[in-house]
Structure 1
Amino acid sequence: MVESQSNPKKMMWTTLAMMAFSTVWGFGNVVNGYVYFDGTRVVFSWILMFLLYFVPYALMVGELGATFKDAEGGVSSWVNATMGPKWAYYAGWTYWACHIVYISSKGTGGLRAMSWGIFGNTTWYDSVPTAWTQAATLLVFLLFCWVASRGIPVLKSLTTIAGTSMFIMSILFIVMMFAAPVINPHASYLSLNLNWKSLMPTFNLKYFSSLSILVFAVGGCEKISPYVNKVEDPSKNFPKAMMALAIMVMVSAILGTFAMAMMFDPKVVNANLNEYISNGAYMAFDRLGQYYHVGGLFMYIYSWCNVIGQFSTLVLSIDAPLRILLGSKEAKEFIPSKLLKLNKHGAYINGIWMIVILSGSLILAQALLPNAQAVMAQLVKLNSTTMPMRYLWVFAAYIALRRQQEKFETSYQLTKKQWLAYLAGFWCFIVTALCCFSGMYSPDGFTLFLNIITPVILVALGLILPAIKKRETANI
């Protein structure tokens, strides 16, 4: 039921909760949590992350969305209203810059999914020299940059279809895995050991340097901010929807973890870490098909959904963040006019060239890694370090909003108590920043170098562009 019976124009809180769930959550989050945090030991960390980070984060997004209900630019609009246009430019830049790494990972992920979809494994793909796989990734990336430059709203509907089907398969995996022992009791399952020792993590360097994986997994709920005021009685029903979202995500994460534990021994996973980071989701669906005597059917369906999703997201990630950055009125004040140039198809052609140089350089640099699995594992970690940096602006905007709350009217507040609002904002900001910095660590020297130099270059470029614009304006 999408609409409320008492007000047909308003949305039920249950509808918003489901929309948010499908936006925030995916099966890959379950796999990454299981792989990086030693199997069921991730359960404790998931619970802490939901209660102490995700819930206040979602409720802050609700207050910002309710306050700036007519703003179309999302986080940049919130920052513009609370902190001014220059900070709004930096927020827009951060959102765009984070996608440079994300774009690089989509080509790699799409080719890997295609290998599973065609061959039913990645044996051949992983045996090819890294220089060849990265050359193929670069060609795919350049092809989709060309597609984006044509100004065509390509694959948006396919992205929605693929995203929805992947979400459905994530839920089905959990349901079908728990049903498998009943349907096929003679298959080989690992026994679940749910004692305190198997659920508590080991608090070491690996643990703290992997927390960014969990922050990245639960982030992104600011995408639902436009719907805050579309809910009936938002001050009452929005927090209810967010609590329902947190419970659904937590239950999905925990049950998904237990489902994975029935399939994969953490000791085997730790001994073959890159393989499980790169292929864990496909291996899980492949094994699920064996339990149901349908061979690789589930794995093939998942693979081709992922192929469509990865490549269509690649186009959208080239085009959409660039339009958000360069299409905003703040951009014209801080970005050199050459980057604002539109081609005859209405695409920001020089902006696309900037993406070609930055993402293309990252793709080529990874040709130095030993194999395709190492590339995929590094991209997962690099994404978890860079992508959460955009969440920092959500918390900065929230703190700025509460400092001047008398200037704004809102239909919903996280709390009436100022000290509690400040505590929530600063807490989430500090946790995100610490996880991003600790996530940069890697025992591999080259990976550590890339994890540090990539954000440094992107931040430096964001600072240089306004200086170029200032000189350009002075010379007019």
Structure 2
Amino acid sequence: MESKKLNWRMLAMMGFTIVWGFGNVVNNYANQGLTVVVSWVLILSLYFLPYALMVGEMGSVFDHKAGGVSSWVGSTYGPMIAYLAGWTYWVVHIPYLAQKPQSALVALSWVFFQNGDMIKTFNPLVLQSIVLGIFLLFLWLSSKGMNSLKRIGALAGTSMFFMGILYILLTVAAPSLMSINPATTDWSLSTFMPKFDFTYFTTISMLVFAVGGCEKISPYVKDVENPHTNFPKGMLALAAMVGMSALLGSFAMGIMFNSGNIPADLKMNGQYYAFKLLGEYYGVGNALMVLYAVANTLSQISALMFSIDAPLKILIGEGDKNFIPAAFTKCNENGAPINGYKLTAVLVGILIIIPALGIGDMNNLYNWLLDLNSIVMPLRYLWVFLAYIGLRGLIKNKALSDSSGFKFVKNDKIATAIGIWCFAFTAFACLMGIFPKNIETFSSEWFFQITLNILTPIVLVGLGLIFPKIARKTNK
């Protein structure tokens, strides 16, 4: 049995595959250009490194807990707060589910037409109706227990991950190997220095969104050999790998795309532009781009099915039944929580169709939904930092005996202050992210987008406060 235990290297690699993707490089370069290099240095050193080490410490302390963040919150604040953490983890996937069919359509466009023009020319309402149809199809397939696409997509996702690493290596090497002239002509210090103004701070939620999620591997702490020391070591290695990939990836994007003249549709099509150009550099035509687009299509579909199913089952399986209505947990003959699926369908359907009524350009609609994810998804990270603050408070007050072999910071006051800093920074990033980007300020579309950006997290999280009241009335 000991031979099957994970070592810290395997743990770091698992975490890297979960946290990182080529899209993180593309989306943040689209927001900031080469100034993102300095942003990465700041976000990795001041935010992600302490974040990863906090997860390492909690994984070390709660090495007997298999439920991850909800278990940590439950151990520090009790079952009601643990339920809210579990609810948040599920409900933030709603915008994610609304975006995945969009991303799959974009990938298919590149597979069959070798460009993204078809998506951009569609009427948003028509295209979003197709997106809704795709989502409902895969929701139905998930309810029937058809999970083979998850396994296929997992393989495709791993392939995409390695293709992202390959892109970085080949692009960075292209100027010397293939005598390619970098698209960015000015590589002076001024090109890399961000202007810390209001516009800049509206983009940091995408950086936080990119580096978050390492707590997803916390349920594996019981499978790690000598978890007291190896889990934190794996987190440290993960931080180093993410940092290297972010910095080299941003340099690679600067070689391929002019930092001073970034394409408006880089978020939507940048990954495909990148592999198309890479194929041209090395004389293989569109082969790399088509291969990446096929892998991405399967990966997006897999992520869609997995995110329909897994977060909901985690909420129902680990959430305190005193706070969840019994009807919500009802499963069909295939083990699918059918009423949970119905609520998912309603919420995702609203997020797919309503924006198309006020955002008249498909590129803007795609960018908006991606930006919405960067506002909503990091809300789940808040629970990680809240759990850490609670943990160090319990240790300080001798309410919990600390038998772990790892402490991120030995001084409880300093550790608590760092936890508060990460919590506050995440909340600030989410708040700044609500302001629309790259559209005319105070236009009708600007007001429409900011209204949706404010209402969406309030409604999604607010539903979690209503459920316990329903449970008290309906549960026998």
Decide which of 56, 59, 64 is 2:58's aligned counterpart: 64
RMSD: 1.8
In structure 2, distance between residues paired with 1:183 and 1:43 = 24
Give the structure 1 partner of residue 329 of structure 2: 340
Give the structure 1 partner of residue 467 of structure 2: 465
Decide which of 317, 334, 349 is 1:327's aligned counterpart: 317
In structure 2, distance between residues paired with 1:429 and 1:73 = 21
Do the aligned partners of residues 329 and 358 (structure 1) sit closer, same or farther apart at CA in structure 2, a change above 3 Å counting?
closer
Deviation digits for residues 98-156 of structure 1 (CA, Å, limit 9, x no counterpart): 00000001011111111111110121221121111101100000001101111333423
Give the structure 1 partner of residue 248 of structure 2: 255
3-state SS of 1:262 partner: helix
Contact 2:19–2:211 (8 Å) recurs in 1 = yes
Give the structure 1 partner of residue 98 of structure 2: 104
Give the structure 1 partner of residue 449 of structure 2: 447
**Residue 274 of structure 2 corresponds to residue 301 of structure 1:** no
Do the aligned partners of residues 61 and 421 (structure 1) sit closer, same or farther apart at CA in structure 2, a change above 3 Å counting?
same
In structure 2, distance between residues paired with 1:198 and 1:329 = 49
Give the structure 1 partner of residue 210 of structure 2: 217
In structure 1, distance between residues paired with 2:226 and 2:71 = 24
Deviation at 1:335, TM superposition (A): 1.7
Give the structure 1 partner of residue 16 of structure 2: 21
3-state SS of 1:268 partner: coil
Contact 1:82–1:400 (8 Å) recurs in 2 = yes
Give the structure 2 partner of residue 372 of structure 1: 362
In structure 2, distance between residues paired with 1:464 and 1:231 = 38
Deviation digits for residues 11-56 of structure 1 (CA, Å, limit 9, x no counterpart): 433332222222211111111111101x111111100101111111
For 1:339-418, what aligned pairs fall within 5 Å after superposition?
339-368=328-357, 369-405=359-395, 406=398, 407-408=400-401, 409-418=403-412
In structure 2, distance between residues paired with 1:234 and 1:459 = 33
Deviation at 1:191, TM superposition (A): 4.9
In structure 2, distance between residues paired with 1:329 and 1:205 = 39
- The residue identity in structure 2 corresponding to 1:180 is A
Decide which of 73, 80, 84 is 1:86's aligned counterpart: 80
Deviation digits for residues 370-392 of structure 1 (CA, Å, limit 9, x no counterpart): 23211210111000000000000
Deviation at 1:159, TM superposition (A): 2.7
3-state SS of 2:72 partner: helix
In structure 2, distance between residues paired with 1:465 and 1:53 = 33
In structure 2, distance between residues paired with 1:223 and 1:464 = 26
Do the aligned partners of residues 340 and 19 (structure 1) sit closer, same or farther apart at CA in structure 2, a change above 3 Å counting?
closer
- The residue identity in structure 2 corresponding to 1:122 is G
In structure 1, distance between residues paired with 2:83 and 2:231 = 29
In structure 2, distance between residues paired with 1:395 and 1:418 = 14
In structure 2, distance between residues paired with 1:404 and 1:428 = 19
Q: Which moved more, 1:258-267 or 1:378-387?
A: 258-267
In structure 2, distance between residues paired with 1:88 and 1:154 = 32
Give the structure 2 partner of residue 291 of structure 1: 281
**Residue 128 of structure 2 corresponds to residue 134 of structure 1:** yes
Contact 1:26–1:170 (8 Å) recurs in 2 = yes
Give the structure 1 partner of residue 25 of structure 2: 30
Report how many residues are paired: 463
For 1:195-234, what aligned pairs fall within 5 Å after superposition?
195-228=188-221, 230-234=223-227
Give % identity.
47
Deviation at 1:228, TM superposition (A): 4.1
In structure 1, distance between residues paired with 2:462 and 2:77 = 21
**Residue 424 of structure 2 corresponds to residue 430 of structure 1:** yes
In structure 2, distance between residues paired with 1:191 and 1:373 = 24
TM-score norm. by structure 2 comes to 0.93
Decide which of 68, 78, 92 is 1:74's aligned counterpart: 68
Contact 1:116–1:303 (8 Å) recurs in 2 = yes
Contact 1:192–1:258 (8 Å) recurs in 2 = no
Moved over 6 A (4+): none
